[in-house]
A and B are shown apart, each in its own frame.
Chain A
C-alpha cells in the first residue's frame, strides 16, 4: 500500500486516460455550446430561423448539444472505458468481501 506500488499500478494509467477523456468532453461540450449560442444567436431576433419552434441558436446549442453530448458520453464509455477491479491489490489489508 505504499506510494511506490501506487505509481506502478497499471490501473492508474487507465484511470488517468479516462480523466483526460472527461476533460476533452468538457472542451467539446463548451465549444459546441458557446459556438452555436453566440455564433447564431447574436443576430437581431427578427432574423432568427426556427427549428421545432425554437430559435435555431437555442435548438443547436442547448437541445442538439445535449443530445450530442449524451451520444458522445455513451460512445466514450462503451469504447474507451475499461473495467478494472477495485479491490484486487488489497493484500495484507482488510479482508476481501
Chain B
C-alpha cells in the first residue's frame, strides 16, 4: 500500500464523516421530518446549491471515463464534453422560480409529489416511482462498482473490502443526516473536485513542456487529435451536437437533479447558484477532459481508458499531492451515489409507502421507515455490487437517457403548459422510456445522432398530442 497516496484519501474520508455528523446535528427540529430528511428543509444557500447540483451530476464518467475517452479521441472529445456547461445554468433557469413556488404550494418533498399534485393521477405516481427505483437503483450499483474499483486500484485493498469501505462511508452520513448531510458533503466533495482538477491540469501542462509543445506532439502523432472530428474522423458534427440533448438540456429531466431545484431557500440563493454552477461545471469539464488529452504525449500507449486519470496523476505529481487529486474522482462518485441513495429511499418511503400503503403513518413511524429503508437499500446495493447481476448492468444502460426521456416533458410542460394532463404525462413517460430501450437495443444511434434524441422528441409529440386529444374529450363530457 502506498501510504503517501492513501493518507490524503483517509483524511478526505474523515473530513466527510465530520461534515456529515455536523449536518445531522444541525437538522432543523421545527420542520417536519420528511421535509428535513429528504429536502433539507428547503434551506440551501447559493454556494451549497451550486455545488450539490454540480457534484450530483458530475459522476465517475466526468472524472474517469471522460478523460479516458478524451485521451483516445483528442480535442474533439473535449468539444463534446463542453456541451455540459449548459447544465450549470439551464436547469435552474428553466425550472426556476416557478418550480420553487409551486413545489412550496404543493408542499412537495419529492419530484413525484409535484407530479402527483400536478396531474392528480395514481398511475403517474406509480410509473414515476417504479422508473426512479428501478433505474436509479441500478445506476447506483454501477457507480459503487466504479468507486470500489478506484479504491482497489489506489490502495491495493481487495475489491470486497474496498466496496465495504466505500459503502460504509456513504451510508453513514446519508442515513444519519439525510439531504442536509448529502448537500453539505457534496459541497466539500465539489470543492475537492474543483481543486483536484486545477492542480492536475497545471501539473500536466508543466510535465508536457507547456501547451504549444503538447499540441505539437499530438499533431505529430496524429493530426486528427487536434481536429474536432475525433482520432479517426468518426465524431461527426451531428453526433457531437446530439450530446447537447443527452448531457446538456436533457439533464432537466433527471430526478436527482430536478429535486435540487426545489431545495433552495430564496431567489438570491438561486441567482448565486446559477453563476457559481456555470463557472464550476465549465471549469471542471474543460479541465478534466483537457487533462485526458494532454496526458497522451506524456504517457503514451495506455490501453484502458479508465486508467488514464489515476496513472497520469501518479506520474506527474508527488505521491501526497496525487492522493489529494485522486480524492476528486472518489468525491465525484460519492456525491452522486449519496444523492441517488436518498432519492430512491424517498421514492419508497414518501411516494409509495405514505401515498398508498399507510397515509396516516405517524412522525415516529416515518422516521424509522426512512432510516430503515435507506439502510436496507444501501445493503441491497452493496450485495448487488459484490457481483453485479446482468439485469442491473442492463438496466444501468438506460438509467440516464431513459429517465430523461421519461421525465423531461411531464416536468417542464407540467410547469408551463396548463393544457398538459395526466393522459399526456402517462403516454409520454411510457413512450419516452420504451422507445429509448428499443432504439438503444435494436437501432443504436439512428441517423448518426445519439440514441437519446428520438425518444425525447417522441415523448414531446406524444405528450402534446395526447393532452390535446383527451383534453377536448374531457371538455365534452362536462
A interface residues with partner B (beta carbon < 8 Å):
1, 3, 6-7, 9, 11-12, 14-16, 18-19, 21-23, 25-26, 29-30, 33-34, 37-38, 41-42, 44-46, 48, 50, 52-55, 57-58, 61-63, 65-66, 69-70, 73-74, 77, 81-87, 89-90, 93-94, 97
Contact = CB atoms under 8 A, between A and B. Distances in A.
Contacts of A84: 97, 101, 267
A33 to B, nearest CB: 7
A56 B3 CA distance: 43
Nearest to B225: A45
B282 interface: yes
A62 B82 contact: yes
A52 B241 CA distance: 26
B388 interface: no
A23 B286 contact: no
18 contacts: A3-B418, A12-B98, A21-B93, A30-B241, A33-B82, A42-B228, A45-B224, A45-B226, A48-B226, A66-B286, A73-B278, A77-B271, A83-B271, A85-B267, A86-B104, A86-B267, A93-B107, A97-B30
Given A73-B278, A74-B275, A86-B267, A50 B212 contact: yes
A71 B270 CA distance: 17
Given A41-B229, A70-B279, A82-B267, 17 more contacts: A7-B418, A16-B416, A18-B96, A21-B93, A22-B93, A29-B86, A34-B241, A37-B237, A52-B211, A58-B226, A66-B82, A69-B282, A70-B275, A73-B274, A81-B267, A81-B271, A84-B267
Given A19-B93, A21-B93, A22-B96, A54 B215 contact: yes
B75 A55 contact: yes
Nearest to B283: A66
A83 B30 contact: no
Given A7-B418, A33-B82, A86-B267, A26 B90 contact: yes
A15 B15 CA distance: 38
Contacts of A16: 98, 416
B79 A61 contact: yes
Contact of B89 (A30, A73, A87): A73
Interface string B76-107: 00110011011011100111111011101101
A19 B211 contact: no
B90 A86 contact: no
Interface string B215-236: 1000100011011110000000
B340 interface: no
A77 B275 contact: yes
A58 B244 contact: no
